[in-house]
Amino acid sequence: MPKKWLIGAGKMEVTIGVLALQGGVAEHLNHLNQIRGVKAKAIKKPTALADCKGLIIPGGESTTMRKLIKEYNFSAALKNFHQQKNIIWGSCAGLILMAQEVEGEEKEQLELLNIKVQRNAFGSQLNSFIEKDVIPKVSEQTQELVYIRAPLIKEIGPDVEILYQKDNKILAVETKYLIGTSFHPELTTSTIFHQYFVDKIKNIAS
């Protein structure tokens, strides 16, 4: 597929989808739409992935999302999207769905990311909290990290890089084509993390 370019800007425009079955879809779309050179779209059917170079699987209710992924025949499409070397970011519930293994569960996952996670590792919704920290590879600026019924990454495979950890807790990881975060960058006013995701996509696509 030919690359699209912003007229007069000299920079590549990329289409990035947000899986729009359940969860924080609007928040991710809002952040993506603030970034120059991005066309953001809600993905409600597998065929809508065709022109995307990146995809966000948002936070939400992972059990519900898992059922809807199966009901709308997304499983094979998402795995194929990854095999085509497009970039996928899973946030919170999205991270759980992407994981190779979920502690104490045998439910079917997408098994894209070679990690083991523990769901609700920080407690219930009432235990939600916000921290501020710097993720050096992402930005030198301090970011707000929002945790809501957040999963914890317990183990990682040899192909997985730790993107962020605190107090020996792994909270964000990545590979060449995948990102997973326990926290919700879309629930802050900052687009720092989304910009990192976009830059990763453009670097691969260029």
Name the binding residues for L-glutamine.
Answer: 60-62, 119, 148-149
Strands (E) located in the chain: 4-5, 12-19, 38-43, 54-57, 87-91, 99-102, 113-118, 129-134, 142-147, 152-156, 161-166, 169-174, 178-181
Collapsed DSSP state (helix, strand, coil) of residue 149: coil
Give the span between the Cα atoms of 153 and 136, in whole angstroms. Answer: 19
Residue 91: which residues within 8 A CB-CB, separation 6 or more?
Answer: 24, 28, 56, 57, 58, 59, 180, 181, 183, 184, 185, 186
DSSP symbol at 153: E
Residue with tokens 């995701």: 197
Catalytic sites, residue numbers: 92, 184, 186
* Number of C-beta neighbours around residue 42 at 10 A: 14
